[in-house]
């Protein structure tokens, strides 16, 4: 057994756990696993800093399962995750690793699913709870003693939880748990907000850090294309003509963009679907299953909605919109090239985003090569190649079985074989352009480095209704409050809960101290206490939301 498992056998895991990981083909622990498992088994609190795709789920799941008491039918382990998709992924991992442990029960607790089955599983004594903070707080309001027996707590992707505004929920959960628990925190980054949580809720934590290494993306062929924002849909359609992909996930910033791009792709005959936070959970699960089994080939998703997706078919990641930070970029392209497979990641870059591209290259330690948009000749060649591949296996049998029909059609129509073949080709290709002049007229894209400077470059150009919203007068202020402004708005993917979570966490305010938060297209307004405002703004000066600087300033209303 020791020889078969290599390094895992030396980590003093439970024999049933070793048998389970052997059955799924694990041989050697990853660096985060090798360093974290002994620390967690020893009972220490821990801060683990590692990117997605490094094997961190197994780094905490294996030691926690090794210490579990299956005969105790009560919650013993709680894993908190920022999203439903990640909760489901982590729960599935625990079920896989515990297959050789009779009596172990795992429950995923997340919003968008019925409360009834979750309540039933909790009452029946599930030992492992994998939950999103919001839904877990719903259960705590029904049963405040729910977590009283939990001995182990893991915060997975803690930085993402704070970006999503879960700070208040986390504090409620901490208060509902025994102080004697063991707490493990995993985060790709350690901003001040995460350090503050560690100082308040972890006891002498051990630090395990796995540097962002290039091997997390080294198997992925990365490239970028310079385009203008208003040319993105056309650029995507042209790229897909020449890229040979099995399945693809395209990332955009907003929910509306997922719907718009998915619709454009469907109109061109692609099997595509949108995935965003407004889509019902059962529908989200169907989308992912359809991507796995080939009923869908393309999913257009926001960052949050794509958390936890691990589909072996995904050969390509297309970053239609620039991610907010390098960590998000690594998360995104990690959807392909997983488990030793090759992958390809493409990034559309507008002229104003070139600096972010440089940051991504610096953080990942890899050059993201520039490629050109396919020209009309390349598109035509790709179409003819696909058509040739589809027709070649049909030709031999068609001549034998349809020869008489061909002669009859030629006679009845009164045309040449060439004319009939041309007509049938047009019908088979739905009138798709198959000559150079028509392809050039069909896709008149201007290269970004030659387009006029005055062309709009921002993602999501303002509609007339958006402009009227920008000019809308602010509502009256409550006494004792002032209005502050940040340049972050809806176009940056910011929601009120993101600003609220950041200000509560970094500013040390009570919830009731913060008034109305108004999210506009290109900026946001927040009502804050007038007393001590300058001190508060000083505390918030280095705060970042969604990877961008908050930079709150007092708003002067004319």
482-538 pLDDT, tens digit per residue, is: 999 998 888 877 888 888 888 887 787 777 788 888 888 888 999 998 888 888 998
Point out the residues of the chain with pLDDT beneath 70. Answer: 1-6, 24-27, 51-54, 211-219, 308, 325, 327, 337-341, 396-401, 403, 430-431, 433-435, 438-476, 557-558
pTM: 0.48
CB under 8 Å to 202, separation ≥6 — which residues? 45, 47, 183, 185
Q: Check if the beta carbon of residue 519 is closer than 8 Å to that of residue 496.
A: yes
Residues in the chain: 558
Query: What are the angstrom distances between the C-alpha of 553 and each of 274, 484, 486?
Result: 37, 5, 7
The confidence score (pLDDT) of residue 137 equals 93
* Residue-wise pLDDT tens digits, 319-368: 999 887 676 788 788 888 655 567 899 999 988 788 788 878 877 778 89
SS3 547: coil
Q: Check if the beta carbon of residue 489 is closer than 8 Å to that of residue 522.
A: yes
The confidence score (pLDDT) of residue 450 equals 41
Tokens of 107: 């429950």
Number of H helices, E strands in the chain: 21, 20
The confidence score (pLDDT) of residue 320 equals 95
Q: What is the dihedral of CA 503, 506, 511, 515, to 10 degrees?
A: -30
Q: Check if the beta carbon of residue 460 is closer than 8 Å to that of residue 492.
A: no
Rounded distance, CA 347 to CA 250, Å? 10
Packing angle, helices 354-364 and 326-333, rounded to 10? 70
Q: Check if the beta carbon of residue 282 is closer than 8 Å to that of residue 352.
A: no
From the list 177, 173, 152, 195, the residue with the least C-alpha distance to 65 is: 152
Tokens of 273: 């679907």
* φ, ψ for residue 36, nearest 5 deg: -85, -40
């Amino acid at each position: 057994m020791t020889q078969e498992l290599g390094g895992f056998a030396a980590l003093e895991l439970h024999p049933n756990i070793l048998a389970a990981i052997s059955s799924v083909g694990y041989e050697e622990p990853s660096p985060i696993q090798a360093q974290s498992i002994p620390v967690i088994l020893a009972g220490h609190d821990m801060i683990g800093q590692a990117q997605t795709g490094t094997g961190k789920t197994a780094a905490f799941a294996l030691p926690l399962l090794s210490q579990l008491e299956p005969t105790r039918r009560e919650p013993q382990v709680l894993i908190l995750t920022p999203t439903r998709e990640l909760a489901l992924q982590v729960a599935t991992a625990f079920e896989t690793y515990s297959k050789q442990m009779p009596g172990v029960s795992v429950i995923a607790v997340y919003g968008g699913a019925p409360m009834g089955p979750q309540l039933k599983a909790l009452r029946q004594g599930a030992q492992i709870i994998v939950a999103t903070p919001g839904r877990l707080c719903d259960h705590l309001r029904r049963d405040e003693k729910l977590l009283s027996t939990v001995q182990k707590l893991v915060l997975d992707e803690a930085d993402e939880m704070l970006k999503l505004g879960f700070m208040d929920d986390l504090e409620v959960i901490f208060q509902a748990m025994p102080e004697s628990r063991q707490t493990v925190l995993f985060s790709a980054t350690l901003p001040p907000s995460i350090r503050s949580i560690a100082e308040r809720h972890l006891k002498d934590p051990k630090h395990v850090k796995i540097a962002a290494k290039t091997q997390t993306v080294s198997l992925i062929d990365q490239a970028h294309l310079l385009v203008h924002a208003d040319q993105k849909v056309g650029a995507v359609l042209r790229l897909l003509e020449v890229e040979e992909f099995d399945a693809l996930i395209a990332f955009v910033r907003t929910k509306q963009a997922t719907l718009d791009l998915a619709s454009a792709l469907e109109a061109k005959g692609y099997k595509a679907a949108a995935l965003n936070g407004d889509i019902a959970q059962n529908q989200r699960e169907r989308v992912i299953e359809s991507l796995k089994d080939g009923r869908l080939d393309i999913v257009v998703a926001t960052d949050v909605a794509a958390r936890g997706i691990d589909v072996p078919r995904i050969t390509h990641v297309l970053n239609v919109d620039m991610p907010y930070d390098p960590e998000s970029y690594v998360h995104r392209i990690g959807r392909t090239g997983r488990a030793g497979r090759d992958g390809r990641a493409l990034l559309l870059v507008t002229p104003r985003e070139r600096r972010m591209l440089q940051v991504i290259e610096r953080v990942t330690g890899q050059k993201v090569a520039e490629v050109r948009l396919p020209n009309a000749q390349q598109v035509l060649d790709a179409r003819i190649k696909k058509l040739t591949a589809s027709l070649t296996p049909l030709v031999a049998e068609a001549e034998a079985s349809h020869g008489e029909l061909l002669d009859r059609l030629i006679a009845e129509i009164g045309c040449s074989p060439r004319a009939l073949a041309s007509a049938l080709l047009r019908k088979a290709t739905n009138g798709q352009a198959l000559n150079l002049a028509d392809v050039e007229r069909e896709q008149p894209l201007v290269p970004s480095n030659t387009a006029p400077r005055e062309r709009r470059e921002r993602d999501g150009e303002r509609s007339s209704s958006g402009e009227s919203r920008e000019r809308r007068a602010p509502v009256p202020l409550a006494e004792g409050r002032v209005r502050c402004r940040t340049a972050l708005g809806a176009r940056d993917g910011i929601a009120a809960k993101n600003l609220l979570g950041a200000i509560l966490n970094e500013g040390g305010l009570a919830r009731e101290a913060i008034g109305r938060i108004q999210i506009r297209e290109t900026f946001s307004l927040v009502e804050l206490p007038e007393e001590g405002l300058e001190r508060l703004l000083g505390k918030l000066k280095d705060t970042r939301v969604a990877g961008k600087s908050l930079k709150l300033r007092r708003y002067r209303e004319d």
